Amino acid sequence: MTFKKFFIVLILLISLPVQAKETVNKLNYLNLDWWKNYHDEILLSHLQTLYTNNHDLKIAALKTKQSEENVRLIGANQLPQVGFDGSLSRVLSGAQTEFGSVIIPEYSQNEFLLPLSASYEIDIWGQNFLNRKSAKKQKEITEQQERAAYIYITSVFTANYYNLIKSEELEKNLREIISLQTDIVKMTEKKYNCGLASIHEFLNEKQALVKFEQDLNKLVENRKILNNELVVLLGLKTDKEIEHSSFSDINCPEVPESLSTTIIQYRPDLISSENYVKKTGLDVRVARREFLPKFVIYGNLGFNAYRWNRVFANETFLSNIGILPSWDIFSGGAKLARYRINKYEYKKAVESYERTVLTSIQEVNDALVSAKTTKANLIKSNDDYSLEEEKHTLAEKQYTIGDSSKLDEMKSNIALLLAKQRDIASTIDNVIATISLYKAVGGIDYTNPENL
Task: Supply the pLDDT for residue 279.
Answer: 96
Task: Supply the pLDDT for residue 64.
Answer: 93
Question: Which residue from 61, 411, 41, 437 is spatially nearest to 266, judged by alpha carbons?
Answer: 437
Task: Supply the pLDDT for residue 452.
Answer: 64
Task: Supply the pLDDT for residue 192.
Answer: 87
Total-model pTM: 0.84
Per-10-residue mean pLDDT, the chain, length 452? 45 39 46 91 95 93 94 87 85 74 78 86 89 94 95 96 97 96 93 89 94 96 96 90 93 91 93 96 94 89 82 83 87 89 96 97 96 96 96 92 89 95 97 96 86 66
Task: Supply the pLDDT for residue 239.
Answer: 80
The domains found in the chain, sorted by start residue, are 25-53+126-172+225-292+332-451 (1.20.1600.10)
pLDDT digits (tens, 9 = 90+) for 104-162: 777 777 888 888 888 888 888 888 899 999 999 999 999 999 999 999 999 999 999 99
Which letter does DSSP use for residue 197 in this model?
S
Task: Supply the pLDDT for residue 266.
Answer: 92
Task: Supply the pLDDT for residue 304.
Answer: 84
Task: Supply the pLDDT for residue 28.
Answer: 56
CB of 389 within 8 A of CB of 417? no
Three state DSSP letters for the chain: CHHHHHHHHHHHHHHCCCCCCCCCCCCCCCCHHHHHHHCCHHHHHHHHHHHHHCHHHHHHHHHHHHHHHHHHHHHHHHCCEEEECCEEEEEEECCCEEECCEEECCEEEEEEEEEEEEEEEECCCCHHHHHHHHHHHHHHHHHHHHHHHHHHHHHHHHHHHHHHHHHHHHHHHHHHHHHHHHHHHHHHHHHHHCCCCCHHHHHHHHHHHHHHHHHHHHHHHHHHHHHHHHHHHCCCCCCCCCCCCCHHHCCCCCCCCCCCHHHHHHCHHHHHHHHHHHHHHHHHHHHHHCCCCEEEEEEEEEEEECCHHHCCCHHHEEEEEEEEEECCCCCCCHHHHHHHHHHHHHHHHHHHHHHHHHHHHHHHHHHHHHHHHHHHHHHHHHHHHHHHHHHHHHHHHHHHCCCCCHHHHHHHHHHHHHHHHHHHHHHHHHHHHHHHHHHHCCCCCCCCHHHC
